[in-house]
């Protein structure tokens, strides 16, 4: 076959439709995530050297295809070498698949099955590190690290956080924070991108399913649950459905059957955020206050700015994030309406994100009676709980979110993908600024898969310069430009995960396939188009909330309940 110059044997084989197994290798073009450490030796192939009558085994992921090369991918020698690489990894891997959080999701386990490994012929020395459970968000189990270094690439090259690196030697080598300090003492943002690419369970989210079951089964507690925009386009994957299948109705039914007292939509919180954020943008524009305004609903990004750009901490919007806003409203407005004691309300958030677990525990968000959100679980944890409850998800009928914190517009749905928050804000801000309805609700210029997007949006006779970054490495470029006075944006959206929340660290594992993210993204935009009401300021339940309880958007009561400040 003829292939472009410079590509590897692995890529050439892929083009030819020949599968070579891989483990450490990752090639996620849309995330700019390329892990080419060639450390696992699982992709070995045999190079035919007829002249010397001596074939050679080479790792196909780093060996370039060359003119005249003859490659055999299915010889007994190549297959044996691959199997041996996996057996050696298994020889010092904890033998606890039954109870491992990655059981049936583990790439090492799948490879053992795929390569027909039936015994582990060697017993290696085991690592015996304690689990790092120091943070509310991430658990590190170094004993399960196979040193593929995917996490290190995600953290250092894509996110530019520089937390993870190789520690120790030989059998005791693993990847962790410098000097193996506890995760909580590092500058980890809890973005979870390392978790998303870890092939085993060396890095996972901290699990909180038991806390949720306890709350549901406590007769004194009124347990409300809310689901983030990105859950509805991904949850189905955990039940064998196609990526991008919209399962909003089934998800609500499942939550009701699990026993939650009320099922709310974080999208309601997103619409509420837009009411405040659009008001704040207009206020800053009119009063020539700090510009640009930065959306701050992504907690990993907030941690990033705190650690890496403390001099810019005055720039983000002061709005709480949507799920935190909804938690506050559940414990105030909703509690009053229903005659409930806020102390007995437990708010559970289902998020595609690991950092939201740490966000909910931030001191400024937990210090008073408006302890906003009590427990955060990921999409994966929700999937596990639905299975645990014996609910046959695929067969479920649809249900609707409960009222009054369940109505949501198309604007809030698009929060789930990069560029969506700023588009939602501009739908509202432009109608408020011009006093006229938009001709076109969609802002195509704000959409796209690039890591950094810049656009100028005309509102009346004003031109607003907008910046959008997803992935913290991309965010760094924008922040450096702002800090150095090289950019004059009016508003910026940053999401820590490349692609936005649809690709969050708590979502179903994509296993190195970025098509999955594209399909979730298309589903988000489809869900927006399906909505009759597509602008946050037209959400009737939100308008009622302001009329009966909050007063003016960005007013005194709204400030008390819906805004925050940043400090560690």
Catalytic residue at 359? yes
HEC per residue, 270-330: HHHHHHHHHHHHHHHHHCCCCCCEECCCCHHHHHHHHHHCHHHCCCECCECCHHHHHHHHH
**Binding segment (CB under 6 A) for ligand SF4, from list 115-123, 155-163, 254-262, 274-282:** 155-163
Q: Does 414 bind ligand SF4 (CB under 6 A)?
A: no
Interaction between residue 498 and ligand SF4 (CB under 6 A): no
306 noted as active-site residue: no
CB 293 within 8 A of CB 491: yes
Q: State both tokens at 205.
A: 């989210």
Cα Rg, the chain, nearest whole Å: 25
Contacted entry of ligand HC0, ligand SF4, none for residue 322, CB cut-off 5 to 8 Å set by kind: ligand HC0
Residue 391 near ligand SF4 by CB under 6 A: no
User: Closer CB to ligand HC0, residue 13 or residue 494?
Assistant: 494
311-164-419 Cα angle (round to 5): 55
Which of 58, 85, 164, 302 lies at the binding interface for ligand SF4 (CB under 6 A)?
Answer: 164
191 catalytic, yes or no? no
Out of 140, 303, 331, 356, the active site residue is: 356
Binding mask 185-224 for ligand SF4 (x = CB under 6 A): ---xxxxxxx------------------------------
Interacting residues toward ligand HC0 by CB under 6 A: 228-230, 266, 269-270, 297-298, 321-323, 351-353, 356, 415-416, 421, 495, 500-501, 504
Instruction: Give me the catalytic one of 11, 105, 280, 381.
Output: 280
Contact 9, 63 (CB under 8 A): yes
Minimum distance between the CB of residue 299 and ligand HC0, rounded to whole angstroms?
8
Q: If DSSP codes are grouped into helix, strand and coil, which group holds residue 191?
A: coil
Residue 506 DSSP symbol: T
Q: Is 501 a catalytic residue?
A: yes
User: Nearer Cβ to ligand SF4, position 164 or 251?
Assistant: 164
Main-chain dihedrals φ then ψ at residue 401, nearest 5 degrees: -60, 155
Closest CA to 401 of 525, 275, 251, 239: 251
Least gap, CB of 193 to ligand SF4 (angstroms): 4
Burial degree of 375 (CB within 10 A; 0-12, 13-18, 19+): buried
Task: Give the shortest CB-332-to-ligand HC0 separation in angstroms.
Answer: 18
The span from the CA of 42 to the CA of 25, in Å, is 9
- Checking phi first, is residue 419 left (phi over 0); if not, alpha (psi -120 to 50) or beta? left
- Shortest gap between Cβ of 111 and ligand HC0 (angstroms)? 31
Q: Measured over all CA atoms, what is the biggest interatomic distance in the chain, rounded to whole angstroms?
A: 86
Residue 161 binds ligand SF4, judged by CB under 6 A: yes
Q: How many residues does the chain have?
A: 568
For ligand HC0, give the closer residue by CB, 421 or 468.
421
| Total residues in contact with ligand SF4, by rule CB under 6 A | 14
Nearest approach, Cβ of residue 562 and ligand SF4 (Å): 27
Please tell me which residue in 39, 60, 317, 349 is annotated as part of the active site.
Answer: 317
Quickly tell me which residue has 């408006």 as its tokens.
370
Considering only residues 82 to 141 of the shown chain, the ones binding ligand SF4 according to CB under 6 A are: 138
Active-site residue identified among 105, 152, 237, 277: 277
321 binds, among ligand SF4, ligand HC0, none (CB under 5 to 8 A by kind): ligand HC0
Specify the pairing of strand 462-470 against strand 452-459: antiparallel
12 binds, among ligand HC0, ligand SF4, none (CB under 5 to 8 A by kind): none
How many Å apart are CA 493 and CA 505, to the nearest integer?
19
User: Which residue in 113, 364, 463, 515 is the catalytic one?
Assistant: 364
For residue 446, give the nearest of 353, 532, 539, 525 by alpha carbon.
525
Catalytic residue among 61, 297, 298, 319: 297
Facing residues of 316 across strands? Answer: 294
Residue 518 parent element (H or E)? helix 515-530
- From candidates 45, 65, 163, 524, binder to ligand SF4 by CB under 6 A: 163
Does the active-site annotation cover 445?
no
Whether 280 is catalytic: yes
Tell me: does residue 155 bind ligand SF4 (CB under 6 A). yes
Q: Which residues are catalytic?
A: 277, 280, 297, 317, 356, 359, 364, 501
Residues in touch with ligand SF4 (CB under 6 A): 138, 154-155, 159, 161, 163-164, 188-194
């Amino acid at each position: 076959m003829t292939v472009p110059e410079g590509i590897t044997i692995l890529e050439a084989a892929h083009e030819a439709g020949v599968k070579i197994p891989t483990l450490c290798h990752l090639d996620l073009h849309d995330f700019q995530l390329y892990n080419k450490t060639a450390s696992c030796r699982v992709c070995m192939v045999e190079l035919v050297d007829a002249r010397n009558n001596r074939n050679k085994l080479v790792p196909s992921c780093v060996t370039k295809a060359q003119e005249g090369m003859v490659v055999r991918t299915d010889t007994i020698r190549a297959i044996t070498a691959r199997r041996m690489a996996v057996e050696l990894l298994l020889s010092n891997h904890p033998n606890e698949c039954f109870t491992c959080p990655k059981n049936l999701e583990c790439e090492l386990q799948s490879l053992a099955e795929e390569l027909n490994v039936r015994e582990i012929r060697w017993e290696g020395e085991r690592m015996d590190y304690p689990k790092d459970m120091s943070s509310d968000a991430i658990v590190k189990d170094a004993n399960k690290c196979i040193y593929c270094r995917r996490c290190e690439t995600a953290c250092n090259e894509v996110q530019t956080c520089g937390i993870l690196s190789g520690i120790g030697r030989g059998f005791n080598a693993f990847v962790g924070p410098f000097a193996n300090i506890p995760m909580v003492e590092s500058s980890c943002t809890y973005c979870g991108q390392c978790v998303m690419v870890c092939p085993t369970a060396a890095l996972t989210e901290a699990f909180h399913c038991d806390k949720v079951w306890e709350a549901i089964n406590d007769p004194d507690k009124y347990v409300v649950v809310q689901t983030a925009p990105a859950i509805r386009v991904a949850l189905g994957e955990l039940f064998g459905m196609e990526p991008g299948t919209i399962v909003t109705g089934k998800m609500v039914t499942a939550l009701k059957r699990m026993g939650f007292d009320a099922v709310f939509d974080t999208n309601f919180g997103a619409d509420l955020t837009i009411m405040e954020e659009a008001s704040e943008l207009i206020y800053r524009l009119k009063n020539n206050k700090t510009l640009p305004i930065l959306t701050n609903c992504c907690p990993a990004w907030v941690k990033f700015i705190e650690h890496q750009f403390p001099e810019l901490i005055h720039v983000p919007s002061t709005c709480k994030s949507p799920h935190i806003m909804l938690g506050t409203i559940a414990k105030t407005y909703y509690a009053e309406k229903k005659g409930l004691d806020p102390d007995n309300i437990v708010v559970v958030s289902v998020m595609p994100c690991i950092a939201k677990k740490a966000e909910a525990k931030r001191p400024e968000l937990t210090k008073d009676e408006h302890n906003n959100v009590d427990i955060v679980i990921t999409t994966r944890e929700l999937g596990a709980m639905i299975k645990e409850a014996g609910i046959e998800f695929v067969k479920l009928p649809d249900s609707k979110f409960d009222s009054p914190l369940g109505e949501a517009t198309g604007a809030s749905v698009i929060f789930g993908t990069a560029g969506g928050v700023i588009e939602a804000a501009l739908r509202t801000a432009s109608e408020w600024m011009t006093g006229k309805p938009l001709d076109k609700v969609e802002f195509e210029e704000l959409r796209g898969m690039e890591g950094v997007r810049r656009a100028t949006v005309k509102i009346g006779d004003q031109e607003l310069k907008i910046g959008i970054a997803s992935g913290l490495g991309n965010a760094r470029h924008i922040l450096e430009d702002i800090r150095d006075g090289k950019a004059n944006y009016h508003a910026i959206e940053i999401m820590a995960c490349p692609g936005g929340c649809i690709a969050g660290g708590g979502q179903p594992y994509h296993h190195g396939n970025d098509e999955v993210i594209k399909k979730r993204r298309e589903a988000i935009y489809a869900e927006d188009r399906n909505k009759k009401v597509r602008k946050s300021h037209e959400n009737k339940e939100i308008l009622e909330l302001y009329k009966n309880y909050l007063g003016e958007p960005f007013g005194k009561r709204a400030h008390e309940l819906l805004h925050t400040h940043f400090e560690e």
